[in-house]
Structure 1
Amino acid sequence: MIMRKKFSGISLTLLLLLLVALMASDKSQAAKRLPLKAQVGSVWDGDTFTIHGVGRIRIMGIDTPEVSGKLKAAEPFADTARDATEKLLMGGGKSIFLIKEKGGQDRDVFKRPLRYIELQDGRDVGEELLKQGLALVYVGKGFSRSARYFKAEMRARSDKLGVWSEKNPHWLVKQKAAIHHVGDFRIVQGRVKAAAKVGSWIYLNYGKDYKKDFTVSIKIRDWKKHFRKVYKDPQQLVGQRIEVRGRIGLRNGAMIRARHPDQIQKME
C-alpha cells in the first residue's frame, strides 16, 4: 500500500508537469499563429480591435480615451477615437499589417498581443491617431517608434486637436489632483521638490510631504539600464518642472512608476 501511494503521488506530479508543459506549448503556438496580415473583425475602442480566430489585439505605443464600462462613464472623445480607429482599420475592407516590436514587449498586462498596425498605403495607425489628438504616447518599457510618436503627439497638442482642444484636457493632471485619478493613465505635471534613494528605489517627490504628495518611483536597476543614459544623477531633476506619464497607483499618496526615461518630459 505504501509503495502504491508513493507511485500514485509521483504519477500525479508528472501529470501536472505535463499539463503545464502543454499549456505553455499552446500559448507558444498561439503566438506563432498570430498573422502578419489580416482583416479586422471588430473595433473595441480606440486602441483595441479583434481579428477572427485570434482575439483582441492592442495597438503598440498608444493609449486612447476609455469607453464606458460597468463602473465608469466614457472619457471625453472615447467614441470619436473608436470611430477614427474603425475608419482607419476597416475602411474599404482591406487587410492590415501587424508588426512586432523587435526585442520589445510582446503582450500587455492582459496578455493581448501588442503590435504596430500599418495600412496598405503605409500609414501607421497609432501615429495617425496621435496626429488627430485622439491618443497619447504609451511608453511602457520603451519602443523604437517613440520619437516619431512623441512628435505627432506634441504637434496635436500645439494645434489643439482632439482631446487637446478641451479647455482642461482630461489627460493632463496637476500633482495635487493625481490622487483623484488612481487607476487612470495620465500625464501628471509639477515641479520636483526632492530626489531620494531608498533601498532599491529612487523617488522623485513633487511636494514636501512624500506620504501625501505625488511621487515618481524608479527602480535603481531601471535607472542604471535606461535613465542614466539621459540623466547623470536623480538630483538633476530637482527644481525642474516635468510631466510624467503612466498609470497612477496609490502608495503613500498618488504615484507613477517610471520604467523608461521617455515617461518623463521636461516642461521648461
Structure 2
Amino acid sequence: MTAMTTTAHRRKRCIVLIGCIAMIAGATPGIDGAALAGCLTLPEQGEAVVAAIEDGRTLRLQDGREIRLAGIEIDPSRQAAAKATLASLARERRVTLRGDDDAPDRYGRQPAFVFAEAGTQSLQLRLLDAGEALVGLGIADGDCRAELLAAEATARVAQRGLWADPAALKNAGNPGDIMSRVGRFTVIEGRILSVRGTGGTIYLNFGRRWTRDFAVTISRRILGSFEAAGIAPKSLEKKRIRVRGWVERRSGPQIRIREVGQIEMPGAR
C-alpha cells in the first residue's frame, strides 16, 4: 500500500474530529466541497425482509435475526414515536445491511446500518432527520458520522420531533436539569470554564462548584486519540462545545468521554 493510499484510508476511517463537520443545503460536504458518500459505502452484510419492529431501533427479520440500528440512540420519551416512524419505513420491506462488523452484541442483536428497498439513505439517517433519534457513539467511519450529524442538525434547526422541545439540548450551566438525565444518553452544550487534571483523569469543568456543576471527564488512557487529532484538552478552556454521551452521577453530573467524536464545536457547522 502506498503512503498516499494509507493517508487517504486513515482520513476516511478516522472518527470525525472537533470542527470538521459542516452542512450545506442538506448535503454533507467533504473538505474540498464535494458531497461525502456517507454510510452507503460501508461493507454490505446481506439482504433480508423485515418481519417486525421490536422498538425504535430494533428490527426482527424473517430469518429470525434481530438487527440493532447502529450509531444512534433513542430517548425513552421518544420510543413510541420512533417505533412508529421505523415501522412506516421498514415493516415488511426488503432491507440491505451494512457495517464493518456483523458480530452480534451480548444480547444476540446484530448491529448494522440499514437501507430499505435499495434506498440511498439509511433508516438511521431518516430517523435523525425526523428528530426521533440522536447520533450515538462507535461510528468509526468519518463520512458516515458526518452524514448522521448533519441530519441531526437539520432536525434540530427545524425543531422536528424531540427538538420541538427547547430543553432537548441541555444547558451545561443547569446541573440540576442535567442530573435528571442520569443514565440517559444526552446532548449538552455550554462553555468550558476550566480544564484540570487529577491523577489519571482530565476534567472539563463548566462551573466553579466542582462538587455540583456539570463536568466532562477524559481518561489519560485515551489522550492518544486527542493527540492524533491535534487537540490538547487544555486548548478547550473557555471554548463553547457540544458533548454527547450517558450522564453519570459523581459529585455532580458528568459525561465520560470514550471517543473524540463525542465533542463538537457548534460554531464549526
Amino acid of the structure 1 residue aligned with 2:239: Q
What does residue 120 of structure 1 align with?
Answer: 117
> 1:156 is matched with which residue?
155
Query: How well do the aligned residues superpose, as a CA RMSD in angstroms?
Result: 2.2
Which residue pairs with 1:146 in the alignment?
A: 145
Which structure carries more relative contact order (alpha carbon 8 Å, separation 6+)? 2
Unaligned 5+ runs, structure 2: 1-44
> What does 1:123-138 correspond to in 2, within 5 Å?
123-138=121-136
Deviation at 1:137, TM superposition (A): 0.6
| TM superposition shift of 1:249 | 1.1
Query: After superposition, where does 1:1-268 map in structure 2 within 5 Å?
Result: 36-52=46-62, 54-66=64-76, 75=77, 77-90=78-91, 93-101=92-100, 106=103, 110=107, 112-122=109-119, 123-140=121-138, 142-144=140-142, 145-169=144-168, 172-175=169-172, 176=175, 177-224=177-224, 226-268=225-267
List gaps (5 residues or longer) in structure 1. Answer: 1-34, 67-74
Residue-pair matches, total: 218
* Contact 1:201–1:218, Cα closer than 8 Å, also in 2: yes
Other-structure match for 2:25: none
Tell me the TM-score normalized by structure 1. Answer: 0.73
* Residue identity in the other structure for 2:48: A
| CA gap 1:201/1:167 in 2 versus in 1, 3 angstroms | closer
Task: Indicate if the aligned counterparts of 1:65 and 1:81 stay in contact, CA closer than 8 A.
Answer: no
SS at match of 2:89: helix
- Counterpart CA distance in 1 for 2:217 and 2:108 is 25
SS at match of 2:109: coil
**Distance 1:202-1:109 versus aligned 2 partners, 3 A rule:** farther
TM-score between both structures, scaled by the size of structure 2: 0.73
- 1:125–1:191: structure 2 CA closer, same or farther, 3 Å change rule? same
Distance change in 2, residues 1:157/1:106 (3 Å): farther
**Structure with the bigger percentage of helix:** 1
- Structure 1 runs, 4 residues or longer, greater than 6 Å off: none
